[in-house]
């Protein structure tokens, strides 16, 4: 407690003192008074956190006295760790902090919404919409928590969204962040159970249309997403405005029921070099079972030609890395001899780069098998597209359960979050940091020299049971992948 108090004292910001007339003595005195006030405030705060014991010797409980000013209270609460905030006695200010703090389990968001609705005599949807608006006003730094609240909004019953449509509509029209506007459009479409009404109002404005189109992938109802296909398809053929076409390329890959047509259309963009980066990203979202074998060879040839023209030191940049990964993923669709040749050509272009995404709300990696030669330099680019925190840890063969259970035992420890839930074990070979929603990171290392199947997993407590994959270190990558084709 003393260490925590000292940390708060060090981070305290002295009050700024204004005076109509300059007086060294007066200024010095007021500064001293302001400093005493700040120290007294924090001393009172820290003493309030000290456990108190009732006369009947009940278990100690924490109390928390916060300033009456919302801004001052928010500042004090911002100095608490996530663990300390979770343990803080509940109040309106604490509920707001729980709603806005990144990296918290969703159950605390729900608790905060229910607590605020009760405290303010409103309802959870009203508080959720207000929370989203407040986070939007704070700018891009709030996007991680914003994504979490977006998931809660889009899980709201259609009838409730329809009843609050006027307030929901404000999210599509007023916010400063594109993400918030896209959330608003997705919620409006869900409330209307149709895309027709909102499409008519947004279609004339390219900026609004781009936001509306990018809202399609986050709509939960597959039927509603499917209804967008005839609206998105014509946008792919329009070169201007370019932001609308790129948005349509991104969105159409999330529309179910048209995988074959969408693959063919986006493959054309890749082969022509038009919007290649957006098209490759879109194609990677289409289920592999829908990838046509006859498209594999021309796509690989096109991507290899593109990669050869990319400077060597830029081949691990996002666009080139995605192209490299997509070409690698296509090789198992080729006949064995052609797959071997294509694989060797791709590996000759530089380090083996693997792009792995987390699948939203499924607690899965999108790739469960990657292969590399022993001792080969390699990179894993992990992109967290989920609303939860995830990481990727490469471990020795046969140690998945041991490392996963060890990570679960770390959860109650005060320093578990800071240690990223990666156990201190010789069986842990490589690990990324813990990623918040929307973040990505690069893990560069040299593959083990001993051939074998090295598991990779998310070591966040409980995730390892589903979020697992295999890094195969083999002498013949093409034969291995061909024999393990999905």
107-142 pLDDT, tens per residue? 999 999 999 999 999 999 999 999 999 999 999 888
Kindly tell me if the per-residue pLDDT of 327 is higher than 90: yes
**Phi, psi (deg, nearest 5) at residue 453:** -105, 110
Kindly tell me if the per-residue pLDDT of 208 is higher than 50: yes
Contacts of 171 (CB under 8 A, 6+ apart): 129, 132, 133, 180, 181, 183, 184, 187
For residue 90, give the DSSP letter.
P
In the sheet with 364-365, reading across from the earlier edge strand, the strands are 364-365, 352-359, 377-383, 440-446
Token digits of residue 457: 């997993």
Q: What is the pLDDT of residues 56-92, one digit of tens each?
A: 444 444 667 788 888 998 999 999 888 889 999 999 9
User: Whole-structure pTM over 0.85, yes or no?
Assistant: no
The residue whose two tokens read 């966040």 is 460
Cα 101 to Cα 85, 128, 166, 358, 406, distances in angstroms: 9, 14, 27, 22, 27
DSSP helix/strand/coil, 377: strand
Q: Which ranges of 12-81 does DSSP label H, i.e. alpha helix? A: 24-49, 70-78
Q: How confident is the model at residue 280 (pLDDT cuts 50, 70, 90)?
A: very high
Kindly tell me if the per-residue pLDDT of 229 is higher than 90: yes
Q: What is the pLDDT of residues 252-274, one digit of tens each?
A: 999 999 999 999 999 999 999 98
Predicted pLDDT of residue 273 = 92
Distance between CA atoms of 204 and 232, rounded to whole angstroms? 15
Q: Which residues of 84-117 are buried (b: 16+ CB within 10 A; e: fewer)?
A: ebeebeebbbbbbbbbbbbebeeebbebbbebbb
Predicted pLDDT of residue 411 = 62
Q: State the chain's mean pLDDT as an integer.
A: 84
SS (H, E, C) 257-305: CCHHHHHHHHHHHHHHCCCHHHHHHHHHHCCHHHCCHHHHHHHHHHHHH
Q: Is the CB of residue 132 less than 8 Å from the CB of residue 180?
A: yes
Distance between CA atoms of 390 and 358, rounded to whole angstroms? 8
For the residues 453-463, what does the mean pLDDT come to?
95
Distance between CA atoms of 218 and 90, rounded to whole angstroms? 32
**Phi, psi (deg, nearest 5) at residue 103:** 85, 10
Kindly tell me if the per-residue pLDDT of 440 is higher than 80: yes
> What is the percentage of the chain residues whose pLDDT exceeds 70?
84
> What is the percentage of the chain residues whose pLDDT exceeds 90?
59
Q: How confident is the model at residue 415 (pLDDT cuts 50, 70, 90)?
A: very low
| Closest by Cα among 457, 460, 484 to 468 | 457
């Amino acid at each position: 407690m003393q260490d925590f108090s000292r940390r708060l004292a060090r981070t305290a910001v002295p009050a700024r003192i204004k005076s109509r007339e300059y007086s060294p003595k007066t200024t010095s005195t007021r500064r001293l008074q302001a400093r005493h006030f700040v120290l007294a405030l924090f001393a009172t705060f820290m003493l309030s956190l000290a456990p108190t014991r009732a006369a009947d010797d009940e278990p100690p409980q924490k109390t928390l006295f916060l300033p009456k000013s919302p801004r001052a209270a928010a500042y004090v609460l911002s100095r608490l760790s996530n663990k300390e905030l979770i343990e803080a006695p509940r109040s309106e200010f604490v509920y707001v902090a729980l709603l806005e703090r990144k990296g918290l389990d969703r159950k605390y968001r729900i608790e905060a919404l229910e607590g605020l609705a009760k405290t303010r005599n409103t309802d959870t949807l009203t508080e959720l919409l207000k929370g989203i608006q407040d986070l939007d006003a704070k700018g891009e730094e709030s996007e991680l928590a914003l994504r979490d609240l977006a998931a809660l909004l889009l899980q709201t019953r259609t009838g409730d969204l329809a009843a609050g449509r006027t307030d929901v509509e404000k999210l599509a029209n007023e916010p400063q962040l594109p993400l918030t506007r896209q959330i608003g459009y997705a919620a409006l479409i869900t409330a209307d159970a149709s895309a027709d009404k909102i499409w008519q109002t947004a279609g004339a404005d390219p900026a609004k249309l781009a936001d509306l189109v990018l809202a399609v992938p986050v709509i939960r109802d597959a039927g509603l997403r499917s209804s967008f296909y005839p609206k998105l398809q014509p946008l792919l053929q329009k070169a201007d405005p370019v932001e609308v076409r790129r948005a349509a390329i991104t969105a159409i890959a999330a529309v179910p029921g048209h995988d074959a047509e969408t693959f063919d259309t986006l493959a054309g963009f890749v082969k022509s070099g038009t919007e290649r980066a957006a098209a490759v990203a879109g194609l990677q979202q289409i289920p592999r079972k829908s990838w046509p074998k006859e498209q594999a060879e021309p796509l690989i040839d096109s991507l290899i030609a593109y990669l050869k023209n990319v400077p060597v030191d830029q081949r691990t940049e996002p666009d080139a890395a995605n192209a490299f990964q997509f070409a690698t993923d296509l090789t198992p669709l080729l006949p064995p001899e052609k797959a071997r040749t294509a694989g060797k050509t791709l590996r000759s272009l530089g380090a083996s780069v693997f792009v792995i995404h987390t699948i939203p709300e499924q607690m899965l990696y999108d790739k469960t098998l990657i292969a590399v030669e022993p001792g080969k330099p390699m990179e894993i680019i992990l992109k967290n597209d989920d609303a939860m925190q995830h990481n990727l840890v490469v471990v020795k063969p046969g140690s998945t359960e041991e490392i996963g259970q060890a990570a679960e035992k770390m959860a109650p420890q005060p320093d578990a979050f800071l240690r990223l839930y990666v156990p201190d074990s010789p069986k842990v070979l490589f690990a990324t940091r813990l990623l918040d929603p929307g973040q990505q990171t690069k893990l560069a290392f040299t593959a083990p020299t001993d051939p074998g199947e090295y598991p990779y997993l998310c070591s966040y407590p409980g995730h390892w049971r589903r979020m697992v994959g295999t890094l195969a270190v083999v002498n013949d990558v093409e034969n291995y992948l061909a024999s393990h084709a999905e």
